[in-house]
Amino acid sequence: MFDRRLFTNFDWTLLGVVLLITAFGVINIYSASSSYREIGTPYYLKQLYWIVAGLGLCLTVCSLDYHMLEDFAYWLYGAVLILLVLVLVAGKTTMGATRWISLGFFNMQPSEPMKIVIIMTFARFFSRYPVFKGLTLKELVRPLLLLGIPAVLIMKQPDLGTAILVSLIAGSMLLFVGVRWSALATIFAAAVPTVVIAWQFLLHDYQKKRIYNFLNPDLDPLGSGYHIIQSKIAVGSGATFGKGFMQGTQSQLRFLPEQHTDFAFSVFAEEWGFLGCLLILTLYLFLILWGLGIAKKCNDRFGSLLAVGVTAMLFWHIAINMGMVIGLMPVVGVPLPFFSYGGTSMVTSMVGVGILLNISMRRFMF
Amino acid sequence: MKPLNNILPEDDGGGRRIIGLSLGACAMFFLLLSRLWYLQVISAEDLIDQSENNRLRFVPVAAPRGAILDRNGKVLVSNTPSFSVAVIPQDVKNKEQLIDNLARYLNLDRTEIETKWNKGQGRAKYYPLVVASGITRDQMEFLEENRLALSGVNIEMKPIRAYTNGSLASHLLGYLGEVSEDELNSERYREYNAGDYIGKSGIERAWENYLHGTDGGRQIEVDARGRFLRTVAETGSSVGNTVMLTIDLDLQKAAEQALGDQAGAAVAMDVNTGEILAFVSSPDFDPANFTGRMPPEVWKKYLEDERHPLENKALKGMYPPGSTFKIITAIAGLEEGLIDEHTTIQCTGSYKFGNATFRCWDHKGHGTVDLKKSLRESCDVYYYKLAERLGVDRIAKYAKRFGLGAPLGIGLENEKGGVIPTQDWKLKRFGKKWYSGETLPVGIGQGYVLTTPVQLASMISTVANEGTILRPHLVKRVVDSDGKVLQDFAPQVLGKTGLKPATYRFVKEGLLAVVNEAHGTGGSSRLWEVKVAGKTGSSQVVKLRDSKGGVPYRFRDHALFVAFAPFEKPEIAVAVIVEHGEHGGSAAAPVAGKVLRAYFEGKGVIKKPVPKAVPKEEEGGEGVAEPDTAPPAQQ
């Protein structure tokens, strides 16, 4: 029987903030894509379809008790791992990267669900693992293996952005669980040679180039440096009050690349200025703190870990995307949740919100 | 005791850590906000300057199109540099004055420049618009000297098409033209810009996606008035893919020479693969005329030529197949058991059906005629009678089995399918029922029957290989600029006719007799070294009581010939149509003979040109039926 408390406890604030951000996103996509000669359905309309689909999924996810996820976590982890291996063996290659499995009617990108699945896996792993004084180096071996296998597989595709994201999400959860200072120090000490080795053997030339260009965009102002230069000009020329809706010269003259997807925030920053950015940033910060609040209020460890994981996922997307468009981080192709154009990102983020809502409305169930 | 999974986060410091994570998040957001503050408040002035000046500007550099080669790698189409004039609208102070100046300096029509300018509306104002292409070196120098009066004008180097062999295979290769407004708005040309050249016909159009390379560009720094300061960076354009055709350049040349000045088409096809070896539509045109500005007098000449040089007759020309269609009627008769190789009829020179009299081309009559003789001497009466017994639908059934009446998917746009009439077809097309008197001309390939030269080549090829309908195709492979094969086109079987082997045997013997026996109508295609089999035809253009002498060109019958060789192990099939050439045997068969000769010379089967011995021409004309019910034949 449906428990009435579920409806009474529904987290309208969370949903409201998310819907507010998506609304800004759609308006922004409308402006960002207005300089394109569009054929067929316009981007903003397609984005609306994705939002509706995402919301549907979000509500479905929050209607089922999240404790079910605990039972499925390892199975899902195994299944997505198999898909990741399958991608490397028989994936579809586009522009030099093999990230998709062609299912005929659409292309599936298994690294995307891995973001959610790693959260569930870690939540499940640590929910039954009492930690009192922080994880020791020895105790870290198993979780790091759980993370390492998918991370390396994703890196192989190559999809550096997603590999980093998955690692950051898992890393945040580890920090939440607690890691001993001694273990942290050892990891950092080991990280230095690892980075050197990764740079030498794992990173592709174009990825290295992006990092060089991030450090000095003027090296290749037409190539990968172009993104950063044009994006910084767009953001900065928005000044305090912005150039006005659909008045951004950088975007309307199409100086900005991928302006409705990864660089959507630059368009917003140019047109709405510092005040607009402040508003969006506040909304995102509120969302993150609210997510952490859900984790805090949750009565069981699994739910709490899940909430931290989902919040971390949203947080790192926001931090990396914004950092990228304002020249704080290299360009790694990470979308801004609820804001950038794109179905995959919208669906993943909405599923995440569904999980948060789920935990939030069931906090009184014990 | 609590179950393990109910240990609260607080138990291991979870609450404290949530606060820690929250503080971390706040710090990150503070960092982002600080950076935004730095960019949007502190550095705003400088960045506004940069955005307003748009100091970095992208100048597209057109990619050279991929080459088109023949089957042996000989160049058919390549590229050569040309100069064009582009305007950056944003940098133009006085549009009217600039257009005036350009029109004067370049000796161009003012409205022409204006039209091109208007094409670029709706695009970014900094994007260069090509207003004149193919300017001369003198014009270019003149513009350079007058740069001051021409702010916003740039001269761009663009590769243009070079047609190594002039007008050779022009209909097949096609030509380029500037992308039109409508095309720009279509999905297919989404990535294109105003002023871009695209394939407008032939291979150039059908294979546009492969031939068109990726445009490169230069990042230049300009001042606020758009004047060039320096090139900041450059990305190379990447040349389009090379398309290797199935055509053999030498055979194509031979076929074009064989057709000469005559209007018509010739298609040669590999019987075992469906590869088109020669593809001629005559008269041709010079594709170079279409690159840049076409002189009006040339355009007028093309349009006024009654032989329609711009029409691709091999692909889109629909002609009554005339007596070449008797092959189908004969096959239908044999398969339906209405005749065998011994069945005879009496030809008295005409056949009465109801009130109409259907005449044989030989008014004296052929006497006793069996299947072989009916094909060899192209007796019309034999096929009138056979058609009458078969009925139009049964004839159509076999014609369609050979792929007639529908496009074969040769790989060029607007391929025509022709018409194979049936009772249903007439009802749908004209809303009238079929009269049995209309069936008789169908039996000799007249009346409503229409086929294209490509279809006739395919039909005779299917007869030659005894039942495998192969898709005629023009592209052998696509190779990228590094020489890597992107696509290789294997033979594609469209279907099988599923006929009895004996049917082919009897018909092929008849076709062999057409070329090699006394009284055969196709003797002028005979080769001594290789056995050729074929069928002549002539198709009525307009019904004339007296077609002897003094008939104006446009009313003369079309001449047709289909053939394959070698008879024992067929390799090549040829279909030739000479518009208004009157008799298949005298106009079309010699053309096919020359094509076949060139093919076997190329293979070394025929060592050196041997003086041709043409047997005495026996036929006087054929297949001209005059039934009262016959609809006017179409050209």
Report the pLDDT averaged over residues B542-566: 75
Question: What is the predicted pLDDT for the residue at B633?
Answer: 35
B31 reaches A (C-beta below 8 A): yes
Provide the shortest C-alpha distance from residue B161 to chain A (in Å).
29
Whether A296 has a pLDDT exceeding 80, the answer reads yes
Burial class (CB in 10 A: 0-12, 13-18, 19+), B387: buried
Interchain contact, A281 vs B125, CB within 8 Å: no
Question: What is the predicted pLDDT for the residue at A224?
Answer: 56
Residue identified by tokens 């100048």 is B59
Report the pLDDT averaged over residues B70-86: 88
Between residues B496 and B544, the one the model is more confident about: B496
pLDDT in tens, B577-606: 999 888 888 889 999 999 999 999 998 888
pLDDT above 90: percentage of residues in chain B: 48
pLDDT band at A8 (very low <50, low <70, confident <90, very high): confident
- What's the sign of the alpha-carbon dihedral A350, A356, A362, A366? positive
Whether B402 has a pLDDT exceeding 50, the answer reads yes
pLDDT above 70: percentage of residues in chain A: 87
- Alpha-carbon distance values, B294 to B118, B179, B291, B384 (Å): 21, 15, 7, 51
What is the 3-state composition of chain B as percent helix, strand, coil, each rounded to the nearest 5?
A: 40, 20, 40
Mutate to test the interface with A, among B12, B16, B38, B45 (most CBs of A within 10 A): B12
Q: Residue B15: its chain A contacts at CB < 8 A? A: 296
End-to-end CA distance of chain A: give it in Å, rounded. Answer: 17
Q: Residue B46: its chain A contacts at CB < 8 A? A: 236
Is the omega angle on the peptide bond into residue B283 within 30 degrees of 0, that is, cis?
A: yes
Mutate to test the interface with B, among A222, A308, A359 (most CBs of B within 10 A): A222
- Alpha-carbon distance values, B377 to B325, B334, B520 (Å): 14, 18, 5
Whether B624 has a pLDDT exceeding 60, the answer reads no
Report the pLDDT averaged over residues B552-577: 91
Between residues A218 and B593, the one the model is more confident about: B593
Is the omega angle on the peptide bond into residue A158 within 30 degrees of 0, that is, cis?
A: yes
pLDDT band at B3 (very low <50, low <70, confident <90, very high): very low
SS3 B495: strand
Interchain contact, A221 vs B28, CB within 8 Å: no
Whether B543 has a pLDDT exceeding 70, the answer reads no
Of A176, A249, A301, the CB nearest to B17: A176
Report the pLDDT averaged over residues B563-587: 91
Mutate to test the interface with A, among B18, B52, B56, B181 (most CBs of A within 10 A): B18
Whether A147 has a pLDDT exceeding 90, the answer reads yes
Interchain contact, B14 vs A130, CB within 8 Å: no
Provide the shortest C-alpha distance from residue B133 to chain A (in Å).
25
Interchain contact, A222 vs B234, CB within 8 Å: yes
pLDDT in tens, A324-338: 889 888 877 889 999
B490 reaches A (C-beta below 8 A): no
Burial class (CB in 10 A: 0-12, 13-18, 19+), B568: exposed
Interchain contact, A253 vs B52, CB within 8 Å: no
Question: What is the predicted pLDDT for the residue at B338?
Answer: 94
Please, what is the Cα angle at B308 between B302 and B311, to 5 degrees? 105
DSSP characters over B87-156: E-GGG-S-HHHHHHHHHHHHT--HHHHHHHHHHTTTS-TTS-EEEEEEE-HHHHHHHHHTGGG-TTEEEE
Burial class (CB in 10 A: 0-12, 13-18, 19+), A232: buried
pLDDT band at B635 (very low <50, low <70, confident <90, very high): very low
Question: What is the predicted pLDDT for the residue at B450?
Answer: 94
SS3 A53: helix
Interchain contact, B51 vs A175, CB within 8 Å: no
Interchain contact, A281 vs B184, CB within 8 Å: no
Question: What is the predicted pLDDT for the residue at B634?
Answer: 33
Whether A351 has a pLDDT exceeding 50, the answer reads yes
B3 reaches A (C-beta below 8 A): no
Provide the shortest C-alpha distance from residue A332 to chain B (in Å).
17
Interchain contact, A277 vs B217, CB within 8 Å: no
Question: What is the predicted pLDDT for the residue at A105?
Answer: 64
B231 reaches A (C-beta below 8 A): no
pLDDT above 70: percentage of residues in chain B: 87
Question: What is the predicted pLDDT for the residue at A314?
Answer: 97
Give the max Cα distance, chain B.
119
Question: What is the predicted pLDDT for the residue at A35?
Answer: 63
Q: Which of A270-274, B307-311, B434-438 has the lowest mean pLDDT?
A: B307-311
Provide the ipTM: 0.92
Of B22, B41, B233, the CB nearest to A222: B233
Strand boundaries in chain A, DSSP class E: 92-94, 97-102, 107-108
pLDDT in tens, A88-107: 887 777 666 777 777 766 67
Q: Residue B216: its chain A contacts at CB < 8 A? A: none
Whole-number average pLDDT of chain B: 84
pLDDT in tens, B451-467: 999 999 999 999 999 99
Residue identified by tokens 């709706």 is B122
Whether A11 has a pLDDT exceeding 50, the answer reads yes
Question: What is the predicted pLDDT for the residue at B54?
Answer: 59
Between residues A175 and B130, the one the model is more confident about: A175
B56 reaches A (C-beta below 8 A): yes
Q: Where are the alpha helices (DSSP H) in B163-312?
A: 170-173, 181-184, 202-206, 208-211, 249-259, 296-304
Q: Which of A257-261, B537-541, B615-619 has the lowest mean pLDDT?
A: B615-619
Mutate to test the interface with A, among B1, B2, B5 (most CBs of A within 10 A): B5
Q: Are B537 and B560 in contact (CB under 8 A)?
A: yes
Question: What is the predicted pLDDT for the residue at A37?
Answer: 56
Provide the shortest C-alpha distance from residue B211 to chain A (in Å).
19
Of A37, A131, A322, the CB nearest to B32: A322
Of A132, A252, A269, the CB nearest to B12: A132
Q: Residue A319: its chain B contacts at CB < 8 A? A: 28, 32
- Phi, psi values for residue B177, rounded to 5°: -155, 165
Question: What is the predicted pLDDT for the residue at B249?
Answer: 94
Question: What is the predicted pLDDT for the residue at B629?
Answer: 36
Question: What is the predicted pLDDT for the residue at B9?
Answer: 43
pLDDT in tens, B380-397: 999 999 999 999 999 999
CA distance B634 to A118: 72
Buried b (16+ CB within 10 A) or exposed e, B61-92: bbbbbbbbbbbeeeebbbbeebbbbbbbbbbb
Report the pLDDT averaged over residues A198-213: 75
B502 reaches A (C-beta below 8 A): no
Q: Residue B220: its chain A contacts at CB < 8 A? A: none
Give me the active site residues of B, please: 323
Interchain contact, B4 vs A285, CB within 8 Å: no
Question: What is the DSSP-derived secondary structure letter of residue B240?
Answer: P
Provide the shortest C-alpha distance from residue A151 to chain B (in Å).
23
Report the pLDDT averaged over residues B501-514: 95
CA distance A225 to A231: 10
Kindly give the pairing relationship between strand B228-235 and strand B153-163. Answer: unpaired
**Inter-chain contacts counted by CB atoms under 8 A, chains A and B:** 176
B43 reaches A (C-beta below 8 A): yes
Report the pLDDT averaged over residues A271-295: 95
Q: Are A226 and A210 in contact (CB under 8 A)?
A: no
Report the pLDDT averaged over residues B32-38: 95
Quick count: other Cβ atoms within 10 Å of Cβ A127? 22
Interchain contact, B187 vs A237, CB within 8 Å: no
pLDDT band at B617 (very low <50, low <70, confident <90, very high): very low
Interchain contact, B17 vs A175, CB within 8 Å: yes
Of A277, A300, A328, the CB nearest to B6: A300
Interchain contact, B28 vs A233, CB within 8 Å: no
Interchain contact, B235 vs A127, CB within 8 Å: no
pLDDT band at A55 (very low <50, low <70, confident <90, very high): very high
In chain A, the residue whose alpha carbon lies closest to the alpha carbon of B35 is A326
Binding-face residues of B in 517-536 toward A, CB within 8 A: none
Provide the shortest C-alpha distance from residue B126 to chain A (in Å).
8
CA distance B447 to B436: 12
Report the pLDDT averaged over residues B336-340: 93
Of A177, A222, A281, the CB nearest to B32: A281
Question: What is the predicted pLDDT for the residue at B258?
Answer: 93
Q: Residue A322: its chain B contacts at CB < 8 A? A: 32
Confidence (pTM):
0.58
Report the pLDDT averaged over residues B225-242: 74
Question: What is the DSSP-derived secondary structure letter of residue B532?
Answer: -
